[in-house]
Structure 1
Amino acid sequence: MKAVYVTGPNTNEWVEVDRPAVGPHDVLLKIKACGICGSDAMYSQIGGIPPRQGATPLGHEPAAEVAEVGADVDGLAVGDHVVIDTMAFTDGLLGSGGAQGALSEYVVVRDAEPGRQLKVIPKDIPWEVAALNEPMAVALHAVNRTEPRPGDKVVIFGAGPIGLGALLGYRRRGASHIVVVDLIPSRLEKALQIGADAVINSADEDVAARLVELHGDGSSMMVRGVRSGTDIFLDAAGAPVIPATVAGIAKQGATLGIVAVHKKPVELDFGSILTTELTIVFAMGYPTEIFEVTEDIIENWQKYALIISDKLPFDRALDALALAQTPGAADKVVVTFE
């Protein structure tokens, strides 16, 4: 069968591999869709992940159909539609340094346990939307790390897939007003379609002044100046200016969550931040959220579908990887196997 591998620095190629054999405790999955992640570009740039440097299978945002069930596996049937915990494979992280990747026709789940690696979903959920389950779990973990309370006012920097997923996550947790900040008008329009209460184009608007207008004046005796009444800020963009911007406009007791990858050190003036008692938290992966987010996707799949910008067939998977790596060319690319 065909699969996509990183075979060297900045080199992705088709590789012919054997279809996995299925034992009595295993489940064979026919991959039906797989999203392209920013980390796929990083894996490509460095030539793969040790110990499989030069031969790393790609694809860690899959949705699949059960193709074969081992004799000793209960709770799954051929034809079931499933989403997958790619971190629960016994042969390594699926598509992130493990023995298998989801940019291939089939994947085998060794020692399969329904509810641990796999969750069955309704068959009316489009495959490309089901493939959002993994990145949306990342977004939900970022939401959970900021510990939102019903009625909180939230600002999300970055209207990419994680930022938009966080928008849906904060709405689910009862946020009263959500603002999305970005530089690209089409992304801001999509944020409004998905449910943002307001958007700010930081290229031509004064973010601080606009947030005071939207979330009220958060200044106090201890924290003076232009301060927003925002309760939670989430950095889903990774622009170096964002943490300092938040520190300069946050009210006392606000929270800043960082889910974006910052590729360079960020400088913060702790002296000026001290009086704000700003809480800064970081979020990575999805310790508990991989199937927690699934129910919301099932209930609101039409909104999640808006996050997808491009769908390419499996025979164009290399083009999909290149498209996703091109700045400004696409927001969320999903490979489909129909």
Structure 2
Amino acid sequence: MSESDGPGLSLGQQYAATMPSARVHGVGDMRVDQVPVPEVGPRDVLVRISATGVCGSDLGYVAAGGLGGGAPLIEPLPIGHEFAGIVEKVGEQVSGIRPGQRCAVNPDAGLIGGGGPAGAFAPFILIPDARAGADICPIPDSLPLEKAALAEPLSVGLHGVNIGRVQPGDKVVILGAGPIGLCTIICLRRRGVEDILVADLSDARLERARQLGAAVMVNPSREPLVEAVGKAHGTGERFGMPYVGSDVIIDAAGAQPPLAELLDVAKFRARIVIVALHKKPMPINLWKMMANEFSISGSIATDREDEFNECLQMLASGDIDVDPLISHRVEFAQLDEAFRIAADTDASAKVIVTFPQTA
């Protein structure tokens, strides 16, 4: 395929040589800088971004002044990795992708918005060495681009579900009803799981969990967590130790106390999946882990091409209502406001940043 511009106009005629891009410069310091519009090489694709979701990771990068972990920030860090848009320009050696194609982009290969050279809080993004269906994932006209941007967080939830080997008849606990917890509910319901208990300290978030299909909502500030889980999933005793009947526990909260409570009563061969980011080490009773043969697995959701495309297919099918997941839509010109809203866990779920579309 030969290199091609968008309809009727050259790139230079359609927009200036620079564009705004959100980048982290230090602790609490996010700026919208002017950067060059990327040049398209023979194996690259330029995407005009339509919608980008604000992720908790984005908030964390701003708060930490970088990727975290103590690594110093050598140069500004572009952020934004949950996005969808329209193919603007295609390199001459790229096959299976054409200008004007609507798509969601899997950010894994280029570490987009997570340490790589590009982020999706910008009008355009370059996808190097672009592969159809792996990086650039076409979507049907019937799927709104803002919903296609949900494929990334949904695939995080789906990866955790797969790590936990969840089956339709399982009894599942989700700790945390933030965006990833809510995405996990959607993926569980898609798999046919009905017995889902969600715990969170925010009643507003629990209401979103109910709307998305959770069966039991628990606010541990009002009701003891272990008691509530035992009431919903049953209880028993093994080696003189009490347990609750949950088959799978998915931690999407990153708070030690509730996780520790449930580890203390995990049943024989329960599967525990850690999706959340824990900022501090926590002790684990290895005797109980040995005696009850429960497993603890991490889930970081990389190398998830199949899961990303499965989530796009789910979104396109319309079988699961994801509308309660999107709480706000904010224009890119008001990016600071979008981040302020996303940081308010009671008021928001998934905040979508939208970009003006031109012919």
User: Shared topology, TM-score over 0.5?
Assistant: yes
RMSD (CA atoms): 2.0
2:302 is equivalent to residue 286 of structure 1: yes
Aligned pair 1:107/2:128, yes or no? no
Are residue 77 (structure 1) and residue 98 (structure 2) matched? yes
Count, aligned residues: 333
**How much has 1:86 moved relative to structure 2?**
1.0
> Which residue in 2 is equivalent to 1:2?
20
In structure 1, which of residues 300, 322, 329 is the aligned counterpart of residue 340 of structure 2? 322
Displacement of 1:221 in angstroms is 4.2
Among 176, 182, 190, which residue is 2:208 paired with?
190
Q: Which amino acid aligns with 1:27?
A: V
Matched to 1:134, the amino acid is E
User: Unmatched 5+ residue regions in structure 2?
Assistant: 1-18
| Alignment partner, residue 15 of structure 2 | none
Does the 8 Å CA contact 1:31/1:102 hold for their aligned counterparts? yes
Residue number in structure 1 paired with 2:239: 222
Matches for 1:31-46 after TM superposition, within 5 Å: 31-46=49-64
- Summarize the alignment of residues 99-248 of structure 1 with structure 2, pairs less than 5 Å apart: 99-217=117-235, 219-222=236-239, 224-225=241-242, 227-248=243-264
Q: Residues 107 and 259 (structure 1 numbering): CA distance in 2 closer, same or farther, change over 3 Å?
A: same
Range with greater deviation from structure 2 (51-60 or 315-324): 51-60
Deviation at 1:154, TM superposition (A): 0.7
Q: CA deviation at 1:329?
A: 4.4
Deviations, residues 89-116 of structure 1 (Å, cap 9, x unaligned): 3xxx111121111111111222222012
Contact residue 48 and residue 54 of structure 1 kept, 8 A: no
8 Å contact 1:47–1:54 — kept in the other structure?
no
**Which runs of at least 4 in structure 1 moved beyond 6 Å after TM superposition?**
none
Alpha-carbon spacing, 1:85–1:223, altered in 2? closer, same or farther (3 Å): farther
The amino acid that maps onto 1:68 is K
CA distance in 1, matches of 2:240, 2:296: 17
Change in CA separation of 1:96 and 1:301 when aligned onto 2, cut-off 3 Å: farther
Q: Is the 8 A contact 1:47 1:53 kept in 2?
A: no
Please say if residues 51 and 97 of structure 1, whose CA atoms lie closer than 8 Å, have aligned partners that are also in contact.
no
1:66 corresponds to which residue?
87
CA distance in 2: counterparts of 1:312 and 1:275, whole angstroms: 51
Supply the AA of the counterpart residue of 1:242. P
**1:126 to partner: Cα distance:** 2.1
Distance in 1 (CA, whole Å) between partners of 2:229 and 2:341 is: 34
Shift of 1:127: 2.1
Query: Structure 1 stretches of 5 or more lacking a match?
Result: none
The separation in 1 between residues aligned to 2:128 and 2:263, in whole angstroms, is 47
TM value normalised by structure 1:
0.91
